[in-house]
Amino acid sequence: MPVELGDEILQKVEKPSRYTGNEWNMVVKDAENINIRFAFCFPDVYEVGMSHLGMRILYHLLNERPDTYCERVFAPWPDMESMMRKEGIPLFSLETKDPVKFFDFIGFTLQYEMSYTNIINMLDLAEVPIFSKDRTKGHPFVCAGGPCAYNGEPLADFIDFFMLGEGEEIINEVMDIYAQWKNAGLSRFDFLKMISSIEGVYVPSFYDVKYNDDGTVSSISPIYDFASPKIKKRIIKNLNEVYFPDKIIVPYNDIVHDRIMLEIFRGCTRGCRFCQAGMIYRPVREKSWEKLTDIASRLQKSTGYEEISLASLSTSDYTQLKELTNNLIDAMSPKRVNLSLPSLRIDSFSLDLMEKAQKVRKSGLTFAPEAGTQRLRNVINKGVTEEDLLSSVSLAFNGGWNGVKLYFMIGLPTETYEDIEGIAELGQKVVDAYMSVPKEKRAKGLNITISTSSFVPKPFTPFQWEAQNAIDLLKDKQLFLKSKIRSKYITYNWHDSRLSFLEAVLSRGDRRLGRLLYRAWENGCKFDSWGDYFRFDLWMQAFEDCNIDPAFYANRKRSFDEILPWSHIDVGISQKFLINENKKAYRGELTQNCRVKCEACGAAVFGGGICYE
C-alpha cells in the first residue's frame, strides 16, 4: 500500500516535487509481479542525490532485470521529515510511494562521511530496525556501497553487507543469489553466507575485531571458515563493454548537476599522496571516444538535455580528449547542446577548446596547486610547479579571462607557516601576472578566490598513518593566511575545520564508532554537511556520552605496523607501496605519473587498464 501524499502534506513543505517522482524516464513497473524490490537510497536531499552519476547508472542497470524493481529514496528534508513523523508516514520510494520496509533491499550509497547520521535517520523513518542484529525474517537487507564503504567500519553495526568497488557486476550477482535464496526459504544468515563468497561482498558480522589496551586494533579475523580473511574490491576491466543506460531520469527540480554526465575514465594516473580517489579507483581505464560520442548522442535524444559535461578525476589526462571534444562539439552544436568542461590543465589547446565549447563569459578558471610552496607540493606529489601555474594564468589573462579560483589544503604533513605564507604569495603572483598583461589586452575586473580545505587523512592513501592538525591549529593557520593576503583582488574562503575534524574521525574510524553515530543521531544530528543543520556541539556531546576520544582517531599519528581498522579490505594497492610513498613524501621525492613509469602499486592484480597498455 503506497503512502498517501495529499495536498494537506505537500502544500506545507518546501519544494514538494522532491517527493512526487514521475520524472521523464522514471522506470514504471508493476510492483505486484516483481520478485525483488530494491530501494536505492541516497542519504541526502533529492537535488544532491539525483546529481550522482553512480546512482543514475545503477538504477537503470537493476531495472534491466525483469525480476527486479529498483526505486529511488532520498533523505526527506527536515520539514518533510517532521510532517512524516507527525502523521506516521514511513519512508517511501519515489516510484510507487510504497514504504521501503516492505522491500527486499535497502541500499545506501556512501559518498561522504557526513551523511552517516542521515542513514540512521532514514532507517528509523523507514521503521526498519536500525541495528543489523535486530533485523529478522521479513525485514529488508540493508546494504551499502560507494567510496566510503572501503572503510565502512563505523557503519558495521547498521549495514548487513557492503559491496566494495565498482557496482555494475557485483550487484547483479547478489540479486541472482537472492532470487535463489528467496525460493529456497532459507534464513537471513544463509543469504549472507551465500553472498559472502562473491568477490567484493563484505559481511561485517562475519568478522571479529579485538583491541589492545591502548585502544588500537589487535586483530580482525573471520568468525566462520567460509568468510575470507581479506575482501578484495571489484573493478570493471573494460569500460567500453560495461553497461551504460540509454536513458537517464530528467528531474523537474533544478538539481546540482542537471545535465548529461559522460564518465570518460576511471582512476587517476597522478598519485597525489593525500587523494583517496586517486588510489582506490586504480587502475586507470578509459572509455573510447567513439563509445562516448555514441552514448552522448543516445542520451541527448532520450533526455532532451541542453548540456553535456565530462566526468573523471583529471580530464586533461584523458588520452583522446581532442578527438572526443571535437566530435562532441560537431555532433552537439547543431542541436544547441553545450559541452561544459571541468577544470582543465591550461594550455593553448584547452583555452581554444573552452572558447569553442562554452559560449559563456570568460570568468572562472580553476586551479588546484593544493600547497603554497614547491617543497610541500613535492611532499604531496602534486606535480605542478609555480611556473606551470603562472604561465597558465598568463595565457588565460591574455585570452581575456579575469577570474581565477585557487584551491589549497592546509594542515598537510610537514607543513610549516612558510608553506602557508606561500599560498598568499602565490595568490599575489597571480595578481602580478594579470597586471603584467597590457591594459588594452586584459579583461577588466580581476577576481581571484583562494579556498582552503583542511587536510583529512584517508584510508588507503600514503597519508593514512598521519595525524590531522587539531582544530585550533587549523583555525590559527586560517587566520594567519588571512592576515597575509593583502590584495583587494583576492577573496579568501575556508572550510569549517570542525567538519574536517569529524570527517577525519569517521573516515579512519573503527566499529566502536557505531555507538557514537547512533548517539549523535539520538542527540539530533542529521544533514551534517548542511551548514544550517550542522551541530558540532551535539557531536561533541555524543563523544562525551560514549566516552570516546575523537583525537584518538583524528589527531593521532599511527605507526606503520599498527593494524588499521580497514586492514582486511584489499583495494589492490599494496601496503609496501603506501609505506614507500609515505617515506618518499618525507624526503620530498616525487613519484612519476603511472603513464610515465610504473611504480608497482599493486593495481596490476586486477588484470586490466593502464597496467597492461
Partner 1 sequence: MNEIRIRFSRGEEVKYISHLDLMRTFERALRRAELPVSYSQGFNPHPHLVFGLPLSVGIASDAEYADIAFEKDVEPEAVKKMLNISLPKGLKVIDACKKNQKENIMAIIAAASYNIDIFFSESGICREYDNIEAYIDSKLNEFLELNEINAEKNVKGVIKNIDIKPLIIRFDLKKVEQNSKKSYENIYDAASFSVLARAGSKANLKPDVLADAFCKFAGINPAYYSIYRTGLFVECEGKLIDPIHACI
* Residue 22 near partner 1 by CB under 8 A: yes
**Residues 434-473 close enough to bind partner 1 by CB under 8 A:** none
Query: Could you tell me the sign of the dihedral formed by the alpha carbons of 466, 470, 471, 472, in that order?
Result: negative
Residue selected from 66, 215, 304, 607 as contacting partner 1 according to rule CB under 8 A: 304
* Residue 607 near partner 1 by CB under 8 A: no
- Whether the CB-CB separation of 606 and 234 falls below 8 Å is answered with no
* Residue 301 near partner 1 by CB under 8 A: yes
Nearer to partner 1, 8 or 544 (CB): 8
Residue selected from 30, 134, 254, 472 as contacting partner 1 according to rule CB under 8 A: 254
Residue selected from 189, 224, 226, 252 as contacting partner 1 according to rule CB under 8 A: 252
Mind giving me the DSSP string for 202-252? E-GGGEEEEE-TTSSEEEEEESSTTS-SSEEPB--S-TTTS---S---B-S
Cell of 281: 579507483
Nearer to partner 1, 22 or 219 (CB): 22
Binding residues for partner 1, total number by CB under 8 A: 33
* Residue 303 near partner 1 by CB under 8 A: yes
Instruction: Please classify residue 211 by burial: count the beta carbons closer than 10 Å to its beta carbon, then call 0-12 exposed, 13-18 middle and 19+ buried.
Output: middle
* Residue 82 near partner 1 by CB under 8 A: no
- Whether the CB-CB separation of 170 and 530 falls below 8 Å is answered with no
* Residue 613 near partner 1 by CB under 8 A: no
Cell of 141: 537487507
Nearer to partner 1, 334 or 438 (CB): 334
- Residue 543 CA, chain-centre distance (Å), reads 25
**Residues 307-336 close enough to bind partner 1 by CB under 8 A:** 335-336
Sequence-ordered list of residues with C-beta below 8 angstroms from that of 484, at least 6 positions apart, any chain: 420, 421, 423, 424, 425
CB of 251 to partner 1, least distance (A): 9
Instruction: Please classify residue 149 by burial: count the beta carbons closer than 10 Å to its beta carbon, then call 0-12 exposed, 13-18 middle and 19+ buried.
Output: buried
Burial 564-579 (b: 16+ CB within 10 A, else e): bbbebbbbbbeeebbe
Nearer to partner 1, 9 or 542 (CB): 9
* Residue 256 near partner 1 by CB under 8 A: no
CB of 40 to partner 1, least distance (A): 20
Per-residue string for binding with partner 1, 112-141, x by CB under 8 A?
Answer: ------------------------------
CB of 243 to partner 1, least distance (A): 23
Residue selected from 2, 20, 186, 589 as contacting partner 1 according to rule CB under 8 A: 20
CB of 419 to partner 1, least distance (A): 40
* Residue 88 near partner 1 by CB under 8 A: yes
Nearer to partner 1, 230 or 335 (CB): 335
* Residue 87 near partner 1 by CB under 8 A: yes
For residues 302 and 246, what is the distance between their CA atoms, to the nearest angstrom?
7
Q: Which stretch binds partner 1 (CB under 8 A): 8-16, 179-187, 263-271, 534-542?
A: 8-16
* Residue 221 near partner 1 by CB under 8 A: no
Find cell 593566511 and name the residue. Answer: 481
Q: Which stretch binds partner 1 (CB under 8 A): 295-303, 380-388, 441-449, 595-603?
A: 295-303
Burial 465-502 (b: 16+ CB within 10 A, else e): bbbbbebebbbebbeebeebbeeebbebebbbbbbbbb
Cell of 31: 510492483
CB of 53 to partner 1, least distance (A): 19
Nearer to partner 1, 329 or 551 (CB): 329
Nearer to partner 1, 306 or 476 (CB): 306
Nearer to partner 1, 93 or 555 (CB): 93
* Residue 85 near partner 1 by CB under 8 A: no
CB of 252 to partner 1, least distance (A): 4
CB of 329 to partner 1, least distance (A): 16
* Residue 4 near partner 1 by CB under 8 A: yes
Nearer to partner 1, 87 or 613 (CB): 87
* Residue 248 near partner 1 by CB under 8 A: no
* Residue 89 near partner 1 by CB under 8 A: yes
Residues in the chain: 613
**Residues 148-167 close enough to bind partner 1 by CB under 8 A:** none
For residues 368 and 392, what is the distance between their CA atoms, to the nearest angstrom?
12
* Residue 189 near partner 1 by CB under 8 A: no
* Residue 208 near partner 1 by CB under 8 A: no
Q: Rounded to 5 degrees, what are φ and ψ at 468? A: -85, 145
Nearer to partner 1, 11 or 136 (CB): 11
Q: Which stretch binds partner 1 (CB under 8 A): 83-91, 165-173, 541-549, 588-596?
A: 83-91
For residues 458 and 463, what is the distance between their CA atoms, to the nearest angstrom?
7
For residues 65 and 68, what is the distance between their CA atoms, to the nearest angstrom?
5
| Pairing of β 285-286 and β 265-266 | antiparallel
Cell of 217: 586494533
**What secondary structure, in 3-state letters, does 299-361 show?**
HHHHHCCCEEEEECCCHHHCCCHHHHHHHHHHHHHHHCCEEECCCCCCCHHHHHHHHHHCCCC
Cell of 559: 605507526
Nearer to partner 1, 11 or 183 (CB): 11
Cell of 4: 498517501
For residues 408 and 493, what is the distance between their CA atoms, to the nearest angstrom?
10
Q: Which stretch binds partner 1 (CB under 8 A): 50-58, 302-310, 459-467, 523-531?
A: 302-310
**Residues 350-389 close enough to bind partner 1 by CB under 8 A:** 359-361
- In the DSSP assignment, the letter for residue 284 is P
Nearer to partner 1, 301 or 322 (CB): 301
Beta partners for 162?
Answer: 144, 202
Residues at the site binding partner 1, with contacts judged by CB under 8 A? 4, 6-12, 16-17, 20, 22-24, 87-89, 250, 252-254, 300-306, 335-336, 359-361
